[in-house]
Amino acid sequence: MKIGYARVSTQDQSLDLQVDALQKAGCERIYTEKMSGRKDDRPELQKCLDALRSGDILVVYKLDRLGRSTFKLLELTAGFERDGVDFVSIVDGIDTTTPVGRFFFRTMASIAELERDIIVERTQAGLQAARARGRVGGRPAKAKKDVERALKLYDSNQYSVPEIVEMTEVSKATLYRAINKRKNI
């Protein structure tokens, strides 16, 4: 089944051009959305992705309708490949139903992976240089007495976690980490 996804960034923009192109491409179902591509929590995109099954083809008018960042696009398309879903971008001429289309996307994925690895390498080198100069990154650890107070409040069963967080200024993650640490002892 061909499934289409169309998106515009603002409420006053029209989806007509994209929807017409998706219908012409043979899409049986089309999901439309008026929301910025920078947002990762796009409900119609999620519905569209949830509807995809092995053998389906996701069609978009243009690549940037699916996502703004190269990383997000490659993450999505890697999921498509894993799940047996093909991908077509009409304007960009991308079609992973063909060997050349699959090669193009795998090449892009490799370049993006190289870029991420280089960023990680630079970050690690910067952290190592900072440590050599006596600087330590990250947030300062919460005082042990604050965490113990939060645990006592939690054990009392009188307060919700958000209330404990507000009273003690111990983050929810720190509280749960302390609870789990205590369980594993």
Q: Which member of 9, 69, 110, 160 is catalytic?
A: 9
Helix (H, G, I), strand (E, B) or coil at 86: strand
| pLDDT on residue 85 | 95
Contact 88, 57 (CB under 8 A): yes
User: Is 89 annotated in the active site?
Assistant: no
Tens of pLDDT, residue by residue over 165-178, are 999 989 999 999 99
In the block, tokens 């892009």 appear at 108
Cα 69 from Cα 7, distance rounded (Å): 15
Over residues 80-102, mean pLDDT: 89
Which secondary structure element, helix H or strand E, spans residue 122, and what is its range?
A: helix 99-132
Residue 163 pLDDT > 80: yes
Residue 113 pLDDT > 80: no
Question: Dihedral of CA 81/84/88/94: which sign?
Answer: positive
Task: Give the number of other CB atoms < 10 A from CB of residue 31.
Answer: 21
The CATH superfamily assigned to 2-97 is: Resolvase, N-terminal catalytic domain (3.40.50.1390)
- Per cent of the chain over pLDDT 70 is 99
Task: Give the number of other CB atoms < 10 A from CB of residue 69.
Answer: 13
Residue 93 pLDDT > 80: yes
Residue 162 pLDDT > 70: yes
Tens of pLDDT, residue by residue over 24-33, are 999 999 999 9
Over residues 26-53, mean pLDDT: 91
The residue type at 181: K
